[in-house]
């Protein structure tokens, strides 16, 4: 995961369809971007995302949150009403792309654990899985999920293609004296200290914006896509 340059994209609140469309755009554009991307973002409305392979009929029974948007990654149902969200995009030539899924999952949660520790909040990684309700991300925990006093507070989902690796993560913040902005700063500082990462702001170019708008319009905002299975 070491390397001199990473892109950093710090965004405010966006719609559910935009958030998924931009992450897919960044994954498809990973070879041209040439460097890993860390993106922080929020949600304009209460919503829920669910894994690419999940059944819509199951998801709509599990939550009252709307809209429901199908992620480009796997995993389970994630509520987005008060969470902190981020994504990591790794180009195919980067060493992290060659990691097995369990290893890249653990690595991103170790990174978050260390950022929480810098903010004075001790957390641990789950040593094993103890899912209470399959399909719901924050009911029980999978191995390497982030725990606070035994409760899962961070999970993630992944998609690996020939162009790159996309990790979409959510943190359900516990009642702690750590602001979201301070956690984001700590994430950057941990990467700089541990892996010598140099952060470079990412500008959304017109081609990236065009692809995002297209995916948002024809895919992630469409009931036909979100309810396709």
pLDDT at 141: 79
Residue indicated by tokens 């957390």? 123
Q: Cα separation of 120 and 126, whole Å?
A: 19
pLDDT at 102: 96
pLDDT at 29: 98
Q: What's the pLDDT band for 229 if we cut at 50, 70, 90?
A: confident
pLDDT, one tens digit per residue, over 195-205 is: 999 999 999 99
Q: What's the pLDDT band for 67 if we cut at 50, 70, 90?
A: very high
Give which of 140, 152, 188 is closest to 40, Cα–Cα.
188
CB of 50 closer than 8 Å to CB of 27: no
Q: Cα separation of 171 and 45, whole Å?
A: 17
For 113, list phi and psi in degrees, rounded to 5: -55, -45
Range of the domain at 212: 5-226
pTM of the model: 0.94
Name the catalytic one among 37, 78, 121, 137: 137
- Radius of gyration of the chain from Cα atoms? 17
Q: What share of the chain is helix, strand, coil (3-state, %, to 5)?
A: 35, 30, 35
- Alpha-carbon torsion (122, 128, 132, 138), positive or negative: positive
Q: Cα separation of 184 and 56, whole Å?
A: 32
Q: Cα separation of 151 and 124, whole Å?
A: 10
Q: Is 188 a catalytic residue?
A: no
pLDDT at 137 over 80: no
Instruction: Take residue 51 and report the two structure tokens written for it.
Output: 């894994």
The percent of residues above 90 in pLDDT, for the chain, comes to 88
Domain containing 106 — which CATH number? Answer: 3.30.930.10
Tell me what the pLDDT averaged over the chain comes to: 93
The percent of residues above 70 in pLDDT, for the chain, comes to 93
Residues contacting 211, CB < 8 A, separation 6+: 25, 28, 29
**Span 89-99, average pLDDT:** 95
Q: Structurally, how many domains does the chain consist of?
A: 1
pLDDT, one tens digit per residue, over 153-195 is: 999 999 999 999 999 999 999 899 899 999 999 999 999 999 9
Q: What's the pLDDT band for 131 if we cut at 50, 70, 90?
A: low
């Amino acid at each position: 995961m070491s390397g001199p340059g990473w892109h950093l994209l710090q965004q405010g609140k966006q719609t559910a369809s935009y958030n998924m469309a931009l992450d897919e755009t960044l994954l498809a554009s990973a070879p041209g971007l040439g460097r890993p991307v860390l993106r922080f973002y929020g949600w304009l409305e209460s919503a829920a995302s669910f894994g690419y392979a999940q059944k819509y009929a199951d998801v709509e029974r599990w939550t009252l949150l709307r809209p429901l948007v199908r992620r480009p990654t796997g995993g389970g149902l994630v509520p987005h009403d008060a969470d902190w969200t981020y994504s990591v995009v790794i180009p195919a030539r980067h060493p992290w792309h060659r990691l097995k899924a369990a290893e890249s999952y653990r690595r991103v949660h170790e990174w978050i654990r260390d950022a929480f520790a810098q903010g004075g909040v001790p957390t641990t990684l789950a040593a094993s899985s103890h899912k209470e309700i399959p399909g719901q991300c924050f009911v029980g925990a999978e191995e390497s999920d982030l725990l606070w006093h035994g409760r899962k507070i961070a999970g993630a989902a992944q998609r690996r293609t020939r162009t790159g690796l996309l990790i979409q993560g959510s943190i359900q913040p516990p009642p702690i004296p750590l602001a979201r902005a301070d956690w984001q700063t700590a994430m950057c500082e941990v990467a700089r200290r541990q892996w010598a990462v140099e952060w470079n702001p990412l500008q959304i170019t017109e081609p990236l914006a065009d692809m995002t708008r297209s995916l948002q319009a024809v895919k992630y905002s469409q009931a036909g896509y979100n309810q396709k299975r």
